[in-house]
Amino acid sequence: MIKKMSPGNQPNMKPDTDNGTLYFAAIAIAAMALASSIGAAHADSYTLTVTGTMYDGGDNAGIFGAPGTPFSGLYGGSYPAYTGNYAIDNGSVIGATLTITGQTYNFQPSYYSELKLSSKQLYVDIDSAYCDQYTCGDHMSFNIYNDVANIYVAPMFPVALTPFSYTYGSRFGDEAQAYFRIDGCTGACGDFTINTITLADAPVASVPGPVVGAGLPGLMAFAMLLLARYRKRRFA
């Protein structure tokens, strides 16, 4: 004979909703942490590098060599090579450096810093304040272009920010204006020739500003805590 249980003796069949909530919350937080780390690795940050040689100017303040030396005198009578680097984040110039004879100068951005990119022109400029070619504080500018009216000239650059490499002078009609000023010309100033232009993905850690994903360890720790509580309550 089957004995019928009284309502007071029936086992509690109510789902453990608290444990389930803890479990799914932990999974959700772990997923958020993973998404944050992936987003940090794919931030819209680039380094634009221009290389070439100086062909004019001098170092009045001794930033790259002996004070008062023309650039032709810094390198045994010939003009030295240079490397200009621009840090770009979300389409904006956020910093730049110029390296000559192993010495590097840092340019700070301002409202007037600018980046323009089209299939036949690259214009990038960093200013400490409003500048033109003759009056300025700190300034480094490259304007590389071709005759946009010449339909037979192939595109030089991508129309959107994406990694590329270009050798200046490889297409008929390549033109450029490129120069820098440090404290007007009181510090140093000169003009550039151009050899190569390269845009590459920049490591996120090298971009100034808030660090994307900085809360990742905290999210992971909180997720692990919730999972531990879930396991403890499940087996209690």
Q: What token pair was written down for 15?
A: 């789902």
pLDDT band at 191; cut points 50, 70, 90 = very high
pLDDT digits (tens, 9 = 90+) for 213-236: 445 565 556 556 656 665 666 555
What average pLDDT is seen over the chain? Answer: 77
CB-based contacts of 212, cutoff 8 Å, min separation 6: 36, 39, 40, 43, 204
The reported pLDDT for the residue numbered 49 is 97
Range 1-9 average pLDDT: 50
- Name the percent of the chain lying above pLDDT 70: 60
The reported pLDDT for the residue numbered 78 is 85
pLDDT band at 156; cut points 50, 70, 90 = confident
CB 64 within 8 A of CB 72: no
pLDDT digits (tens, 9 = 90+) for 135-146: 667 989 999 998
d(CA 177, CA 60) in angstroms, rounded, equals: 22
